[in-house]
Amino acid sequence: MRAFALRLMRSPEGMAGLILLILLAAMALCAPLVYPGDPMAIAGRPMLAPFSDPAFPLGTDRLGRNVVAGLMHGARASLLVGISAALMALIAGSIVGTVAGFAGGLVEDILMRIVDAFQVVPGFLLALAFVSVTGASLPVVVVAIALGAWTGPARLVRAEVLSIRERDFVAAARTMGMHPAEIAFREILPNALPPVLALASVIVASAVLIEAALSFLGLGDPNIVTWGSMIAEGRNLLRSAPYLSIAPGLGLVATVLGVYLFGEGVAEALARRRGRA
């Protein structure tokens, strides 16, 4: 773990992404302390311009809500959705990929045809349909995004398991009488995970953008402020008050860029580890 951290620190992309993510995480964690209460509550005079009032550094929207408070609380929603959806997709995909790769035969055929069926529908359209049918809430949005993201990890884990299952340590585990499930999930899966962890950054970034798009369309959780809902709120005032959409848009750009750069650093560190091995 220490060697991996050192390799990551030698990557300029990884360090830049890590710094961005730390800043965003700090902003999200400090939101309830800096701006306690409901960020959707009216806080001042409507349509205050940025930097015109020290109490509202980025001004207020058309209802008098604090833009900075919305940004900080919106960071919590975006990071929570991105990380939760990625975890759910990685767990589901890892289980399906491990079972398919290790079992083989009919089980593999059935599971991979299910994967193919989910991959036919674009992730955003699948999330859009799921939220439209079940109703908008934060847990539903997380599940909807994960439904379209688990197929990538499943295929990658299956490919890794197929290359690992014939190795000597797996044959030794079979000789020792270990249960097949124990061999698959205790011996093979940990060795198949490193490439999948590099894919996690793509899933997180995609989840953040899909959540913003759903909120922009009015299909996000109405009780939670998100960057997508802030952009949608400001789209009718782009000429008179562009900051209402630009500020949350820059938050989205910073989040996706940070996740992407950090993922590049992780992939580079893993590649160096494999090269030395």
**Residue 167, domain CATH:** 1.10.3720.10
Q: Does residue 276 surpass a pLDDT of 60?
A: no
Amino acid of residue 155:
R
> Residue 86 falls within a domain, yes or no?
yes
Judge whether 200 and 71 are in contact, CB under 8 Å.
no
Distance CA 161, CA 65 (A): 52
Most confident of 7-21, 48-62, 88-102: 88-102
Average pLDDT of the segment spanning 126-138: 89
Q: Once rounded to an integer, what is the mean pLDDT over residues 198-217? A: 89
Is 2 inside a domain boundary? Answer: no
- Does residue 186 fall inside a structural domain? yes
Give the pLDDT mean for 51-67: 90
Instruction: Give pLDDT, residue 190.
Output: 87
Rounded to the nearest integer, the mean pLDDT of the chain is: 88
pLDDT computed for residue 176 by the predictor? 87
Has residue 3 been placed in a domain?
A: no
CB 208 within 8 A of CB 226: no
Predicted confidence at residue 198, as pLDDT, reads: 76
Calculate the alpha carbon distances from 66 to 177, 224, 250 in Å: 63, 14, 17
Q: Which of 17, 76, 15 is nearest to 260 (CA)?
A: 17
d(CA 166, CA 154): 19
Residue 192 has pLDDT above 90, yes or no: no
**Rounded Cα gap, residues 125 and 140, in angstroms:** 15
Domain membership of residue 246 (yes or no) is yes
Asked, for residue 175, whether it belongs to a domain, the answer is yes
Structure tokens at 211: 């959540």
**Is the residue at 233 inside a domain?**
yes
Collapsing DSSP states into helix, strand and coil, what is residue 66? strand
87 burial (CB, 10 Å; 0-12 / 13-18 / 19+) is middle
Domain count, the chain: 1
pTM over 0.75: yes
DSSP states along 78-147: HHHHHHHHHHHHHHHHHHHHHHHHHH-HHHHHHHHHHHHHHHHS-HHHHHHHHHHHH---HHHHHHHHHH
Computed on alpha carbons and rounded to an integer, the radius of gyration of the chain in Å comes to 22
Direct distance between the N- and C-terminal alpha carbons of the chain, in angstroms, rounded to an integer: 15
Q: Is residue 203 part of a domain?
A: yes
**What does the pLDDT look like over 227-266, one tens digit per residue?**
999 999 888 888 888 999 999 999 999 999 999 898 888 8
pLDDT band at 53 (very low <50, low <70, confident <90, very high): confident
- Is residue 199 scored above 90 in pLDDT? no
| Domain residue limits at 180 | 10-276
